[in-house]
């Protein structure tokens, strides 16, 4: 029995040796230099085994990384602390994962697509015409501060002449007059949705129509888990004073090239699609500032970002705590959680707080937008 085992072992070793010689001939036929290199140095079997094992491990370790790298080259954009949206308006609905769940970006941005697809031949009114429009409609910020009512004057483009207004106070008020109705309109849309959400939550049974509406909002707010508690936190307003301050900071009160050429009120970044390249950007930097066809789309994209992006999770939690305590949404409190909005971090928060205080922007937090003539007709 022992002799048989011995013969088997000898047989296997000879067979293994023959295999090695065959492999060696095959590799030599392909002129694999690294084997010749080792042959010339008469390396033993143990170093060969060690090296082979290392190469195999290295191969299986690097292959997934390489494949993942190739897959990532197909992505339309990336997240960044300054990337207001984690999506681009040119995206055709690519699917991505969020918390190991599938999220369709086209569903999340469908209402922003609809705004951005409006006619692009909108007439740009000059500053004098807009001032006359404000005068004809008796739209004055002093009245807004006192009566808390805002005329529904919705402009689609900023006037180019705003940068030529030398009086700083006049230029700031002019800018506020333009964007205030747009911010209030988006907050009203959220307020109506939030009211409907709480009606649904308080019901024991929901209709099919209500369930479809919920499915739509889950997608719109990036909640594939369909968690009602998360939707309640995300579906909420942005303080008006905070939105005005950020728009003022990002656009230089409406004078920046991005605001003038791309209706970009909040400095959203994109890595593809429609956008404006920063003049001082390095050639290797692939990002652009996102372009919008109308100002309203920029406001909606900004609010959607604060309500969905992971960078602003603490902002949403702080807002929810204020709601639970029955307090107003204080911009000076909530702005403390937007340090990741810009690369300068805490300094950015300080700048926004200064803008809010110096310009008394909190006066507009409880302002109400009057219904437009079209909205009044729909009620008749």
Per-residue pLDDT tens digits for 37-46 = 445 555 556 6
pLDDT band for 159, please (50, 70, 90 cuts). Answer: very high
Decide if 95 contacts 103 (C-beta within 8 A). Answer: yes
Q: Give me 288's structure tokens.
A: 């652009």
Choose among 339, 336, 262: nearest CA to 294.
262
Segment 5-25 shows an average pLDDT of 50
Segment 277-294 shows an average pLDDT of 72
- CATH T-level fold of 98-379: Lysozyme (1.10.530)
Q: Which residue has tokens 């994109």?
A: 270
CB atoms < 10 A from the CB of 188, how many? 14
Q: Indicate the pairing of strand 275-276 with strand 288-290.
A: antiparallel
Where do the domains of the chain lie? 2-72, 98-379
Say what the pLDDT of residue 71 is.
42
Decide if 122 contacts 157 (C-beta within 8 A). Answer: yes
Share of the chain above pLDDT 90, in %: 54
pTM of the model: 0.72
Highest mean pLDDT among 50-59, 261-270, 369-378: 261-270
Chain segment 92-124, per-residue pLDDT in tens: 334 344 444 445 556 667 788 777 776 555 788
Which residues 6+ apart lie within 8 Å of 114 measured at CB? none
């Amino acid at each position: 029995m022992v002799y048989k085992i011995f013969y088997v072992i000898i047989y296997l070793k000879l067979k293994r040796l023959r295999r090695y010689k065959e492999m060696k001939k095959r590799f030599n036929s392909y002129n694999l230099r690294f084997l010749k290199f080792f042959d010339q140095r008469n390396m033993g079997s143990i170093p060969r085994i060690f090296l082979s094992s290392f190469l195999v491990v290295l191969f299986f370790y690097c292959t997934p990384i390489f494949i993942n790298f190739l897959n990532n080259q197909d992505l339309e954009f990336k997240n960044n602390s300054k990337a207001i949206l984690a999506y681009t308006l040119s995206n055709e609905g690519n699917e991505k994962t969020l918390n190991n769940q599938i999220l369709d970006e086209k569903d999340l941005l469908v209402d922003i697509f609809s705004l951005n697809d409006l006619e692009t031949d909108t007439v740009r009114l000059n500053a004098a015409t807009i001032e006359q429009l404000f005068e004809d409609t008796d739209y004055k910020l002093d009245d807004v501060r006192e009566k808390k009512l805002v005329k529904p004057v919705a402009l689609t483009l900023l006037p180019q002449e705003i940068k030529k207004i030398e009086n700083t106070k006049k230029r700031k008020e002019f800018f506020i007059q333009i964007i205030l109705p747009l911010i209030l309109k988006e907050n009203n849309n959220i307020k109506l949705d939030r009211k409907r959400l709480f009606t649904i939550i308080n019901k024991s049974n929901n209709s099919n129509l209500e369930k479809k509406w919920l499915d739509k909002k889950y997608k719109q707010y990036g909640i594939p888990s369909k968690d009602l508690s998360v939707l309640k936190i995300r579906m909420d307003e942005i303080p008006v004073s905070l939105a005005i301050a950020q728009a003022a900071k990002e656009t230089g009160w409406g004078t920046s090239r991005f605001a003038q050429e791309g209706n970009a009120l909040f400095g959203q970044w994109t890595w593809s699609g429609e956008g404006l390249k920063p003049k001082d950007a390095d050639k290797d930097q692939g990002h652009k500032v996102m372009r919008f066809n109308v100002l309203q789309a920029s406001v909606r994209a900004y609010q959607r970002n604060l309500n969905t992006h992971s960078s602003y999770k603490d902002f949403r939690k702080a807002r929810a705590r204020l709601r639970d305590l029955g307090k107003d949404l204080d911009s000076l409190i909530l702005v403390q959680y937007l340090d990741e909005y810009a690369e300068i971090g805490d300094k950015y928060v300080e700048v926004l707080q200064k803008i809010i205080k110096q310009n008394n922007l909190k006066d507009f937090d409880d302002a109400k937008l009057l219904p437009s003539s079209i909205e009044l007709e729909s009620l008749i």
